[in-house]
């Protein structure tokens, strides 16, 4: 039923230069519409102080400094001018947690689900209905960073959390693919890191039954363990850096970069702007817009996991008529048949589609099948 996943393999950049963060650039956070401000601004804040509450959870101050509100056309921002040092880190110490205390700690330390960024992590544990199965996956969505070695160094914390899960959800099946010596596949390939796909391939759970699964990816677990066992707030995230050259060659920086929430990427753009004038975020499978490096951009660690610098960009690139090559349906890992949405061959199967973006990525006619899929599903919701 399922085809072999499509895989994009970047090369590695050995030397990406020396970077310096400009401390006088304010950290800028953008609350969602309807977010609840938790302070009277302007205010002096410390690292980890709660700033506002929104659907994904509590957002904390990433630095010590003075925070103020800035009202702009596209919404209210919180700007923090740093004037203090970063906190020191503690060695993780495994300890026992009750579910209530752990959920309270997740909220107070701002831990979010990096697998489902629209929800707070604690909401998955506070659910009144227990899950049918708990899945601990070794793969992030695009596996730009392998968190396996990091979690191996926190094996005591991992075992403590497994015991906590067994106590919190008695009788529920727990599948630990983190410490399993035999990984689900020999070598990761996209879209194995998409939660619904992972659940189907490992446990044969249909997409429509995924709501019965408590899914925890390795990056979510890594930050959760830092919070529960090191008391470290979720204020920073490692992000991969990619370079797409003029000839289409993709390279990857040798090491990820650590960014604080709301950090201005100006310092990074200035370093590479002679060769890379545009950028986009996360992956080529997603529908993030391409921006110019002349714009200021503030990283949101809930949403942004990778940065892709581009040497060229055709802003006026248009869709061309379908050439019936069949690449979209051939490369579809779930055999949802996206080619049917451009009028050819059979029917589109929305129940099999997880919107991975592979069909749009491989289309030689630049047809945004992702947009057509979303429109198709939106139209069917009212039927």
Task: Quick: pLDDT tens for 275-299.
Answer: 999 999 999 888 888 999 998 899 9
CA–CA separation, 67 and 214 (whole Å):
36
Percent over 90 (pLDDT), the chain: 68
CA–CA separation, 223 and 210 (whole Å):
23
pLDDT of 82 above 70? yes
CA–CA separation, 134 and 90 (whole Å):
29
Whether 81 and 24 have beta carbons less than 8 Å apart is answered as yes
CA–CA separation, 279 and 290 (whole Å):
6
pLDDT of 148 above 60? yes
Confidence band of 181 (pLDDT split at 50, 70, 90): confident
The pLDDT value recorded for residue 349 is 92
The pLDDT value recorded for residue 108 is 96
The pLDDT value recorded for residue 313 is 85
Task: Quick: pLDDT tens for 264-278.
Answer: 999 899 999 999 999
Percent over 70 (pLDDT), the chain: 91
Mean pLDDT of 31-59: 93
Q: Show the beta-strand stretches assigned E in the chain.
A: 11-13, 27-29, 36-37, 43-45, 50-54, 57-60, 65-72, 75-82, 133-136, 173-176, 213-216, 236-244, 250-253, 257-260, 278-281, 291-292, 306-310
Helix/strand/coil percent split, the chain, to 5? 25, 20, 55
The pLDDT value recorded for residue 329 is 93
Nearest to 115 by CA among 223, 255, 39: 223
Whether 302 and 337 have beta carbons less than 8 Å apart is answered as no
Task: Quick: pLDDT tens for 295-321.
Answer: 889 999 999 999 999 998 877 777 888
As a whole number, the mean pLDDT across the chain is: 89
Q: Show the beta-strand stretches assigned E in 88-228.
A: 133-136, 173-176, 213-216
């Amino acid at each position: 039923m399922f085809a072999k996943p499509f895989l994009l393999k970047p090369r590695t950049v050995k030397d990406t230069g020396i970077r310096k963060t400009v401390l006088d650039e304010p950290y800028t956070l953008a609350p969602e519409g309807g977010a609840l401000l938790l302070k009277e601004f302007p205010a002096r804040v410390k690292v980890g102080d709660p700033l506002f509450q929104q659907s994904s959870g509590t957002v904390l101050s990433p630095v010590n400094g003075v925070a103020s509100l800035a009202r702009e056309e596209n919404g209210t921002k919180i700007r923090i001018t740093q004037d203090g040092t970063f906190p020191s880190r503690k060695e993780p110490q495994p300890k026992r947690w009750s579910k209530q205390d752990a959920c309270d700690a997740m909220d107070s330390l701002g831990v979010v689900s990096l697998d489902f960024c629209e929800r707070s992590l604690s909401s998955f544990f506070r659910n009144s209905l227990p899950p049918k199965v708990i899945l601990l996956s070794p793969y992030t969505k695009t596996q730009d960073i392998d968190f396996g070695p990091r979690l191996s160094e926190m094996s005591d914390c991992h075992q403590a959390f497994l015991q906590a899960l067994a106590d919190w959800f008695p009788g529920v099946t727990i599948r630990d693919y983190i410490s399993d010596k035999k990984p689900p596949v020999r070598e990761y390939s996209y879209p194995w890191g998409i939660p619904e796909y992972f659940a189907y391939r490992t446990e044969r759970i249909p997409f429509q039954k995924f709501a019965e699964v408590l899914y925890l990816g390795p990056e979510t677990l890594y930050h959760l363990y830092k919070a529960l066992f090191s008391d470290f707030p979720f204020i920073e995230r490692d992000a991969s850096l990619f370079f797409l050259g003029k000839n289409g060659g993709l390279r990857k920086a040798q090491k990820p970069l650590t960014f604080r929430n709301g950090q201005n990427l100006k310092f990074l753009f200035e370093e590479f702007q002679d060769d890379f004038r545009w950028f986009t975020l996360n992956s080529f499978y997603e529908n993030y817009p391409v921006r110019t490096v002349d714009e200021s951009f503030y990283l949101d660690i809930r949403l942004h996991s990778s940065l892709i610098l581009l040497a060229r960009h055709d802003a006026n690139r248009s869709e061309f008529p379908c050439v019936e090559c069949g690449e979209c349906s051939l490369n579809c890992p779930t055999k949802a048949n996206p080619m049917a949405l451009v009028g050819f061959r059979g029917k589109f199967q929305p129940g099999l589609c997880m919107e991975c973006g592979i069909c749009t990525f491989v289309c030689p006619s630049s047809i945004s099948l992702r947009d057509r899929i979303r429109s198709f599903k939106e139209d069917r919701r009212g039927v």
